[in-house]
Structure 1
Amino acid sequence: MRFYPKARKERPSKDDPSVRPVRLAVLKAVTINLILLQILFLGLFCYLFGSLFQETDHVHNFNILFVDYDGGPIGAAVRSGYETLQGPSFPSLMERPTSAYPQPGSITSAVCDINYWGALYTTPNASDRLTAALAGGPAASSYNQSNVLVVVWNQARYPTVIDSAVFDTMKALSDAARVAYSLATARQAIQTSLNSSDPAALAAFSDPWTLASVNLQPTSQGSRVIYNTLCIILILIQEFFYLGYVNGVYMQFKLYTTVTPHRIAVVRQIISGVYTFVGSLCTTGAIWAFRSGWDVNAYQFLLCWMALWLFAHLNFVILDVFTIWISPPFVPMALISWIVLNVTSVLLPFELSPGFYKWGYALPAHSVFNVLIDIWSHGCNPQLYYALPVLFVYEVVGVILSSIGVYRRAHYAVLKQEAEEKSCDDRAAAILSEHQQQQQQEEEEEEESSLTQEDTIHEASDIGDSEEIGRETTRPMRRRRATVTALEGQNELADMLRREITRSEMERVTSSRDNTGPSFEVPFVS
């Protein structure tokens, strides 16, 4: 190629003896890291896919409350329809007596308190009203098909899952119950009570009810599908990259060897707090900007902002702890593992995953997502009693270990600087000693040459004046040559020391990366 001409510079042949050990070392390093990374990502893929394995066969773990306030044929039809649909891929219908939930409002409270994923109930006297509507007249005209069977649910709880696992299945149960009701009462109604001349009565007979929905928090906007996936991932990646820039600043300005550790720790916490404060505000603002008619208010915006701020900051300090206490080559592996584990803990409700994955209760992503659901649905996800303590434990432990890590970094930075300065002094002393020996040897050779020249002039001169002239001429020339030689030697020595110190400084800056964790070159810094 015509570009990058230095890239075509001659290299040792592959048959060169010096190449063989390097080639073997490279192949060994590549092979080990290939195997290690393949094992890591295979494990992460298996962990992720395992949480989704046979998801539909775990739908029966969703408990749906059923209360029959009617106590007539419609309630019996619901039970009959459930018998036909019951199975691993259908929620479990848990029937309770009306004495446990005397009013429909108590059913709504039970769903809000997440005692059940949803609830289904028949309205009082629904069968009597339907029978009266079949007879025609004013009862048929005023018959409300939506006041028969009601489902209560909270769409803000894992909306992409609950749509199909709760609401759609309840619609299927309603349809099955309607079929069962028609089969059980159609013949008797046609023979006795059906007024075939009344259109309203025929409409009630052909479509006796429509499933009514009480949705505690409608959440149907398109962006809902990434609240528990990409939002979590981007927050984690955002903190990692800024951590790299912060480490780059401390490395570039050599702060670990010039500033006291306690001041570094305080300033780092302030910087991370401000950054995550602004970052969480931007994230919350983006969620609100694309909420598309979602019924949330300014108070919920503020609470969501504070929850995301806490989550972002604790992840900043946790990732900082990774970079302090984990060997640098393994930090990227720890980062990707942390991301996958956290995202997996909120992909699905634990009811749809194998029991092993319930350890995800201890991960911050699962806790913050439950806090967000509680905020978005006006308190209808009361899990703050465990979610907030989990988040604050990560925050406190992360801040403590991160602050201790500042002292660790400063300690090793000073040790490295002292070792490098000592090494630099030793190299400078060796260069100076070698230069002095060389200069002394040159002066001795110059002295011998001058004495020989003086003797020659003395023997060859026939007049005393010529002897004096020769001596006076030779001595200044000798002194000037010695002075010039000394000045040139000093300049050369200064250049050599300057190059050596510069090289040592570059090595120190480069090696300091090992003590600060992942770091990126900071743009826009002179």
Structure 2
Amino acid sequence: MSESYSQENSYQERMIDKSEAGTSAHHATAPVITPIILPDAEDKPFSHGLFDKDPGTTAARKGWLKISILGVLVLFVMIWGILPIYWAALGRSYNNIHNLSGYVVDFDGGEIGQAVRQAFRDTTGPQQMSWLILDAAQFPGGPDEVAQALLDHRCWAAVTVNPQASTNLNASINTADASYNATQAVTAYLTSGRNENIYRADITPQVTSILTIVSHTFALFSSQRLASRSDISTLLQIAPQLVIQPLAFTIHDIRPFNVPVAAAVDYVGLIYLLILAFVLTNQLLAARVESGFEKRLRLRPLILLRLLWPVTLYFFVSLMYSLLSLAFGVPFSRNFGHAGFLIYWMMSWCSMSALGLAIESMITLLTIKFIPIFLILWIISNVSVAFYPIEVLPAVFRYGFAMPFYNVSSTVRTIIFDTKNEIGLNFGIQFSWILISCITLPIFQWLVRRRQIKALEASQRAAREKA
């Protein structure tokens, strides 16, 4: 190809020389043949190997390698700088179980109450709940008032030694009452709907373990005491439970996590809500750029477009998202009737706006190239405080009380499981995030617009100078 190309040029040069010579000799006008420059085969697109050494391929290969390595280094930074947030939230929680308090209230005042109080008093350690032995006088309403303290989130579990527990046991022993029900002596109150993960992993096993040990220990003590009685054989024949198991307990989960599909709306589904907001943000960016609409708008209308249009779309997207949960049987009407679904929809709308506008704001500075870094940080920082109670996480995770995920989860649990109502506060947190984005997005867009104007002016100036 190179040889034929040289021959073609030589031929054209000879033709030009002849033409010029003929023009001088005959003083006549003749057409001039312009040299044709054929493209070098080495510069053709789609025609190179991976390790070709021509200048173009070499430069492209170096650029590709540089960008690839930079991408891996960014991933390394994300792995060690962002992912540890989630690992720390799960991996350190067991060392902070002592931050969860439990109430032990003795309404009995007898030997059963003494045994239960002592058992919980001896249970200590960083991986054990902190049990508070409280005077029954603080709860004049009896065990029901203790249960209400649990519903008010003043503690995470409550154990009551019920009134007359020891008296009823001794009376049953004296009369050999076969109808004696040992499980009525002690009641443990739980609310797993508040956070099913911590109850399943720690609280319920600890309460059950301690009370089981108390039951066995008290049975040994009671059987030794009854061994000297002359009617022990009668007791064993008529009411053996009075000797074998005089003390038992009842676990009463007053707000049980009995809707498995609720996990799709109080934890896992929140990730999908954020991803939907991210996808919509990318689509809106592409719509503005590819249509050229963004370059035609002044700064003020552009900012209004970027704030109001996404929120409008979130309204309908959050409705579809909420209807999906309703279609799969999430019982939103348990606590607030039909208004429960409306509250959930509005919370989904507000949280999607809080999550999505933050991405809308950050993508202005980071661009589509680096926004995934913020997305990972945004997901991890939210998810880490929604799986376990913040009380059992390291102190740095106290920020979670102000995160969108945590507050959505709190609202969902109130709607479905009738936990403590903090819906007003939950909405307030979402509005705060929306307000932050309403402040930061205009600032970021103003900075970017200034940079765009300067680049445009420089381009125009260069074009004038070239002309």
Q: The TM-score by the shorter chain falls in which range?
A: 0.7 to 0.9
Written as runs of structure 1 = structure 2, the 5 A alignment for 1:113-512 is 113-136=152-175, 139-141=177-179, 143-192=180-229, 196=234, 201-291=239-329, 295=334, 297-326=337-366, 328-380=368-420, 382=422, 385=425, 387-405=426-444
Cα pair 2:184 2:250 within 8 Å, conserved: yes
358-367 or 43-52, which deviates more: 358-367
Alpha-carbon distance in 1 for matches of 2:157, 2:112? 19
Residue 178 of structure 2 aligns with an amino acid whose one-letter code is A
Q: 1:50 aligns with which of 81, 84, 88?
A: 88
Deviation at 1:80, TM superposition (A): 3.9
Q: 2:149 aligns with which of 104, 110, 114?
A: 110
Residue 166 of structure 1 aligns with an amino acid whose one-letter code is I
Alpha-carbon distance in 1 for matches of 2:365, 2:328? 40
Alpha-carbon distance in 1 for matches of 2:315, 2:238? 60
Give the count of matched residue pairs: 420
Q: Which has the larger radius of gyration?
A: 1
Alpha-carbon distance in 1 for matches of 2:182, 2:277? 53
Cα pair 1:159 1:224 within 8 Å, conserved: no
Alpha-carbon distance in 2 for matches of 1:209, 1:290? 43
SS at match of 1:90: coil
State, as a whole percentage, how many aligned pairs show the same letter.
20
Cα pair 1:78 1:176 within 8 Å, conserved: no
Alpha-carbon distance in 2 for matches of 1:216, 1:187? 36
In structure 2, the gaps of 5 or more residues are: 1-43
Deviation at 1:123, TM superposition (A): 0.7
SS at match of 2:82: helix
Residue in 2 that maps onto 1:436: none
Change (3 A) 1:226 1:379: closer
Change (3 A) 1:368 1:221: closer
Change (3 A) 1:152 1:13: closer
Alpha-carbon distance in 2 for matches of 1:13, 1:177? 76
Alpha-carbon distance in 1 for matches of 2:205, 2:260? 18
Name the Cα RMSD after superposition. 3.2
Alpha-carbon distance in 1 for matches of 2:316, 2:234? 68
State TM-score, norm by structure 2.
Answer: 0.79
Deviation at 1:163, TM superposition (A): 2.6
SS at match of 2:103: strand
Cα pair 1:77 1:178 within 8 Å, conserved: no
Alpha-carbon distance in 1 for matches of 2:243, 2:324? 49
Alpha-carbon distance in 1 for matches of 2:95, 2:273? 32
SS at match of 2:193: coil
In structure 1, the gaps of 5 or more residues are: 1-5, 431-526
Deviation at 1:51, TM superposition (A): 1.8
Cα pair 2:235 2:243 within 8 Å, conserved: no
Residue in 1 that maps onto 2:11: none
1:28 has 2:66 as partner: yes
Change (3 A) 1:286 1:177: farther
SS at match of 1:208: coil
Change (3 A) 1:259 1:45: closer
Residue in 1 that maps onto 2:14: none
Residue 367 of structure 1 aligns with an amino acid whose one-letter code is N
Change (3 A) 1:367 1:167: same
State TM-score, norm by structure 1.
Answer: 0.71
Deviation per CA, 1:438-485, whole angstroms, max 9, x where unpaired?
xxxxxxxxxxxxxxxxxxxxxxxxxxxxxxxxxxxxxxxxxxxxxxxx
Deviation at 1:219, TM superposition (A): 1.1
Deviation at 1:351, TM superposition (A): 2.7
Cα pair 1:136 1:198 within 8 Å, conserved: no
Residue in 1 that maps onto 2:33: none
